[in-house]
Amino acid sequence: MPHIEAIDIYNFRNHDRAHFVFKRGVNVIWGENGSGKTAVLEAVYTLSMGRSFRTHNHKETLKENTDSLSLKGLFNAGSNTKEIRLNQLSSGQRKFFVNDAVLKKTKDLIGENPIVLLSPEEQRLTKGTPGDRRNYFNKVFSTVSQEYLNMLIVYQRIIKQRNSALQEVRRGRTHEKAVEVWNEQTVSVGTKLWRLKTTIIEKFIHEINKINAKYNNEGSDIVLRFVPEGDIETFEERLKKALKLDLVKGWTTVGPHRDDYRFLFNERLLKKYGSQGEHKLALVLIKMAEINIIKTNTGKNPILMLDDFFAKLDFQRADSLLSLLNGDYQTIITTTDIEDFEKHGINLNLKNNATFHLERKCKV
């Protein structure tokens, strides 16, 4: 079972030096607000995905008034252990190393040590913008399919170049032809990406339906609808027609980068009508589907990270989520109140479990 054995943290967020030796079962990090619990999850996540889940700006993670940070994690894939290290300078320059060899492309980390994260930030998936939803699904699809990740990178590069050409035409520096030369590649790569996306999303929907069947008696039913930007078959035609509008906007308005996803909870559009608890519950169900799709497609059990776990979940819901922890997963959970585990009958003293207490350094 894949798991992280240990992590060394140096100058990351509020941590100057910290060392955690994790167990293979339930690991609970507890402490007051601001003691650095989420930062530990963020550090583990960064070594798994190559970036933070809280910010796109790497510089923010460097501890204030310091020059460099480093993270070093030992990931056990069952048969072997790999050391993954990140060194980052205050300039923002950063390098990853796998067993001391420089990693040329950060994308190669993705899918190696998959993590499923349930955190308040992830709530963007049900509450946020279409862009937030696309980011989420791109991340999951990339974790389960290397082919998708590679194609996505190529497609994004093409769109970026087509957009630059659009902007050049707007500035009167070049002719419309400079945009049109990108059309053929946009259509051919975009169509492939769309087809691949459609097959993966079907698998995801299938997993969501299975989860629904399991929890339906608790009155929670989540439906995922994929809303593609347009018809795949007419992409070429639509792209040609869009030229005028694209020139006005300065970016490409049609293609798979404009898809959307909708969630219905008990038949109502979640984003518009969902209560706080329903949002969280829906997220939990989606995350369960995410765990299963990763498991079936990569053969790896992801590491589960649950941030601020008990907030906003009622007892019964928290209980059914905790039943997951009996599965074959390593979990890292943060909470302010360690007693919650006892209330749910979880014995943290078992040999595969561990607890870590963090203290806030400056008192308010």
Structure tokens, 179: 């945009």
14 binds, among Mg ion, ligand ATP, none (CB under 5 to 8 A by kind): ligand ATP
Does the footprint of ligand ATP cover residue 356 (CB under 6 A)?
no
How far, in Å, CA of 159 to CA of 253, rounded? 10
Amino acid at 236: E
Does the footprint of ligand ATP cover residue 38 (CB under 6 A)?
yes
Does the footprint of ligand ATP cover residue 13 (CB under 6 A)?
yes
Site string for ligand ATP, 273-312 (x = CB under 6 A): -----------------------------------x----
How far, in Å, CA of 36 to CA of 18, rounded? 10
Going by C-alpha positions, the residue among 224, 333, 329, 331 that lies closest to residue 286 is: 224
β-bridge partners, 102: 97
Site string for Mg ion, 13-42 (x = CB under 5 A): -------------------------x----
Going by C-alpha positions, the residue among 143, 26, 3 that lies closest to residue 75 is: 3
Which residue do the tokens 């870590």 mark? 356
Q: Which is nearer to ligand ATP, 90 or 275 (CB)?
A: 90
Does the footprint of ligand ATP cover residue 51 (CB under 6 A)?
no
Contacts of residue 53, Cβ cutoff 8 Å, sequence gap at least 6: 42, 45, 117, 119, 121, 122
Residues that bind Mg ion (rule: CB under 5 A) add up to a total of 1
Contact (CB, 8 A) for 294 and 144: yes
Does the footprint of ligand ATP cover residue 2 (CB under 6 A)?
no
331 binds, among Mg ion, ligand ATP, none (CB under 5 to 8 A by kind): none
How many CA atoms lie less than 13 Å away from 133 in the CB half-sphere?
Answer: 21
Structure tokens, 281: 């519950």
Does the footprint of ligand ATP cover residue 94 (CB under 6 A)?
no
Q: Which is nearer to Mg ion, 148 or 341 (CB)?
A: 341
Going by C-alpha positions, the residue among 256, 233, 131 that lies closest to residue 186 is: 256
In the complex, least distance from residue 117 CB atom to ligand ATP, rounded to whole angstroms: 13
Does the footprint of Mg ion cover residue 335 (CB under 5 A)?
no
301 binds, among ligand ATP, Mg ion, none (CB under 5 to 8 A by kind): none
Order of strands, sheet of 15-21, starting from the edge strand that comes earlier in the sequence: 15-21, 3-12, 68-76, 81-89, 94-98, 101-102
| Kind and range of the H or E run holding 228 | none
Q: Quick one: which of 23, 24, 37, 197 contacts ligand ATP (CB under 6 A)?
A: 37
**End-to-end CA gap in the chain:** 42
How far, in Å, CA of 208 to CA of 213, rounded? 9
In the complex, least distance from residue 307 CB atom to Mg ion, rounded to whole angstroms: 6
Does the footprint of ligand ATP cover residue 130 (CB under 6 A)?
no
In the complex, least distance from residue 312 CB atom to ligand ATP, rounded to whole angstroms: 13
Does the footprint of ligand ATP cover residue 14 (CB under 6 A)?
yes
Q: Which is nearer to ligand ATP, 39 or 325 (CB)?
A: 39
Q: Quick one: which of 5, 8, 63, 228 contacts ligand ATP (CB under 6 A)?
A: 63
63 binds, among Mg ion, ligand ATP, none (CB under 5 to 8 A by kind): ligand ATP
Q: Name the residues that contact Mg ion, by CB under 5 A.
A: 38
Q: Name the residues that contact ligand ATP, by CB under 6 A.
A: 13-14, 31, 33-39, 60-64, 308, 336
